[in-house]
Structure 1
Amino acid sequence: MRTTSARRKIRPDDALARRPWHGTLREYDLFKELTVALVVVGLVTVVVSAVLGSPDDPSITLKSWAVAAPSDFVATATAELGGTSETAGYGPPYNNTPDATQKIGAFDPQTWSGVQIPIDTAKDFVIDPLSALPNPPTALKTWTGATDTKRTDWAAAYSDALVTAAGNNPAKVGTGDYGPVPAMTDALLLMAQQGALDGVLTARETFYNFDYTRSILFLGDGTYFPDLAASQHLTGEQWGMMNETGNTPGQSWLWLFSFWYQVEPFASAPNADLLVVLVMLVLSVMLMLVPLIPGLRDIPRWIPVHRLIWRDYYKRR
């Protein structure tokens, strides 16, 4: 049998790599570079974050609300019982309140989506939490045993009485036919001040309790949380949704969304959210289709800013 030995052909790239280096040599300390990258850059990051970073304000909880503004808490709980709060009349995805959705003619995506997170404000925010107490107040039986009309009358009467009371203080409310409402709201206030209400509203069947929807909605129905936002200039009149507490800049990528809320007709439109979403959708589609839109795709030729940025490249060409 005849055998042959094949010699591997050396490619030009391999031949170049095999040549000895005759240029300048310089020591390279990998450990030193790693130290600089981790320690020095880390220290600089920490210092700059401490000076220029976002503020670390404590979270607003139902407990802090109930302790700081008990009158507002009781008034909000009463509105939840009477079904007159903002959440109670929000519409989808929380409930089926008629004519509560934002729409443009027959275009009504909020209704189309349906109720995905059903919330009964009286049951979810007041009755169920009080029922979870080791010794639920006896006022619960009176409330659940009454008719819907009677419940509405009780809540409306107590809500009106709170408005006329000195400082809206529940302790200074005059006598009236309020039924079990004062006892229920007082029990819920005590529950919140002790910190138990936060845990009850976030408790679910799952092991991890990360659903704060009900807590946030309940908190937002009062005036305490919006007043805090106004005191920090977070209502949209200055930086809009970009703002954070104090003078710290917020999420810059939201400026385009926030911009539309500051100009007409969006600023005064009852369906401003839907209008802004549609405008941003159209702008996003136009951005994706820039290479296909005559005139728009020619702007770089008419305003060649890119030639200034990459002037060295174009100079060589």
Structure 2
Amino acid sequence: MSTTPPNVSVRKRNDVASRPWRGPVRRYDLFKELSVGIVVVGLVIVGLSAFLSSPDDPSVTLRQWAHSAPADFVATTTAELGGTSTTAMYGPPYNSTPDATQTLGPIDLQSLSGVRIPIDTANDFVIEPLSTLPSPPVAIRIWNSAPETQRTTWTSAYAAALAAAPKNDPGKVAAGEYGPVPALTGALLQMADGGALDNVIQAPGAFYNMDYTRGILFLGDGTYFPGLADAQHLTGDQWGVMNETGNYPGQSWLWLFSFWYQIEPFSSAPNADLLVVVIMLVLSVALMLVPFIPGVRSLPKWIPVHRLIWRDYYRHK
């Protein structure tokens, strides 16, 4: 008498994988497929990449910025000294600027990590790099000995004078009480134009350094670097997160992140980054829970696209 439970034989009869295949049969050459997959496809990829690959543009440097847009460089340096640049007022993780963080009601995710990369724009971007010169400007001592209110007065007056000068040319600024600010900005411009600032601003005193945070932040505070991004179709309102240099297609899987920035209320919201992060978090959790959501998990039964894709299998079944 057989000891096999009746339901086992029933499962075997209903197991599609155990049934003999009665459909069409064709010869299969594994070596040929391997040759095509590696050699032929590889040659096609290399050949197409020579004509269709994205351009390899050189890195933008502070020297390039100072040489190409000296007026913007001086204006940005003045903002760094006065603490009015984007980096200076960003908040965590760079500084503790009040009311600078993006919040969602009482939720302040930006402040959770605290100031992990402390940056004092006046000292880190201007004073400290100039102090590394063989003959540091005397203006450094004047700046360091002045009270904070006096520094603010100097930088505010010089920033206004730069904005009023023809083409914002520092050489055409009207006379005024600017203290050491013109000397500091002029010395930094000369230092950058000579190529010395690029290495010094990253990690003073370190021979090897791979941290480009300071240089990128300094570049981003001006208008020259964002202007290059705009010309290359890389800004947020140009779906730049999905493009590579020159409007070449890039990370298509990021389209959903970029999509929210193109529509209201996100495109004009001051806390757009936080809103998009929260929305994507909710959507990601919802995607993981699809097998457990009634109705949604039954969509394949109501819309049997899989039967169209695997039509040969279901035809024989």
The question of a shared fold, defined as TM-score above 0.5 by the shorter chain, is answered with yes
Give, in whole Å, the separation in 2 of the partners of 1:239 and 1:78: 31
SS in structure 1 opposite 2:44? helix
Map of 2:154 onto structure 1:
154
Q: Percent identity?
A: 68
Map of 2:313 onto structure 1:
313
Map of 1:254 onto structure 2:
254
Aligned partner letter, 2:168:
N
CA contact (8 A) 1:52 1:248 kept: no
Aligned partner letter, 1:314:
Y
Structure 1 residue 238, shift from structure 2 partner:
3.5
Give, in whole Å, the separation in 1 of the partners of 2:101 and 2:312: 55
Map of 1:84 onto structure 2:
84
Map of 1:114 onto structure 2:
114
Map of 2:61 onto structure 1:
61
Give, in whole Å, the separation in 2 of the partners of 1:126 and 1:206: 17
Give, in whole Å, the separation in 2 of the partners of 1:37 and 1:298: 40
Map of 2:170 onto structure 1:
170
Give, in whole Å, the separation in 1 of the partners of 2:206 and 2:58: 27
CA contact (8 A) 2:154 2:177 kept: yes
Deviations 1:22-67 (A, max 9, x none): xx9x9x79xx959x945x5554333211211111112111111111
Aligned partner letter, 1:192:
A
CA contact (8 A) 2:233 2:247 kept: no
Worse-matched range after superposition: 144-153 or 45-54: 45-54
User: Is 1:104 equivalent to 2:104 in the alignment?
Assistant: yes
Worse-matched range after superposition: 236-245 or 183-192: 236-245
Give, in whole Å, the separation in 2 of the partners of 1:64 and 1:250: 26
> In structure 2, do the counterparts of structure 1 residues 33 and 204 end up closer, same or farther at CA, with 3 Å as the change threshold?
farther
Aligned partner letter, 2:248:
T
CA contact (8 A) 1:240 1:259 kept: no
Map of 1:198 onto structure 2:
198
SS in structure 2 opposite 1:63? helix
Deviations 1:233-284 (A, max 9, x none): 2223333411223341121011000001111221121111001000100111
What's the TM-score, normalizing by structure 2?
Answer: 0.86
Map of 1:297 onto structure 2:
297
CA contact (8 A) 2:232 2:247 kept: no
Q: Which runs of 5+ in 1 are unaligned?
A: 1-23
Equivalent positions of 1:17-56 (< 5 A) are 33=35, 37=38, 41-56=41-56
CA RMSD between the two structures: 2.2
Q: Which runs of 5+ in 2 are unaligned?
A: 1-26
Give, in whole Å, the separation in 2 of the partners of 1:205 and 1:316: 73
SS in structure 2 opposite 1:237? helix
Map of 1:217 onto structure 2:
217
Structure 1 residue 75, shift from structure 2 partner:
0.4
Deviations 1:72-116 (A, max 9, x none): 000000000000101110011111111111111111111122111
CA contact (8 A) 2:92 2:101 kept: yes
Structure 1 residue 299, shift from structure 2 partner:
1.2
Structure 1 residue 197, shift from structure 2 partner:
0.8
User: Is 1:232 equivalent to 2:235 in the alignment?
Assistant: no
> In structure 2, do the counterparts of structure 1 residues 310 and 92 end up closer, same or farther at CA, with 3 Å as the change threshold?
same
Give, in whole Å, the separation in 2 of the partners of 1:43 and 1:304: 38
Map of 2:10 onto structure 1:
none
SS in structure 1 opposite 2:174? coil
Give, in whole Å, the separation in 1 of the partners of 2:140 and 2:176: 19
Map of 1:73 onto structure 2:
73
Structure 1 residue 203, shift from structure 2 partner:
2.1
CA contact (8 A) 1:158 1:181 kept: yes
Aligned partner letter, 2:166:
A
Give, in whole Å, the separation in 2 of the partners of 1:226 and 1:243: 15
CA contact (8 A) 2:90 2:100 kept: yes
Structure 1 residue 207, shift from structure 2 partner:
6.5
Map of 2:179 onto structure 1:
179
Count of aligned pairs between the two proteins: 289
Give, in whole Å, the separation in 2 of the partners of 1:246 and 1:301: 44
Give, in whole Å, the separation in 2 of the partners of 1:213 and 1:178: 30
SS in structure 2 opposite 1:263? coil
Give, in whole Å, the separation in 1 of the partners of 2:237 and 2:218: 24
SS in structure 2 opposite 1:179? coil
Give, in whole Å, the separation in 2 of the partners of 1:289 and 1:147: 58
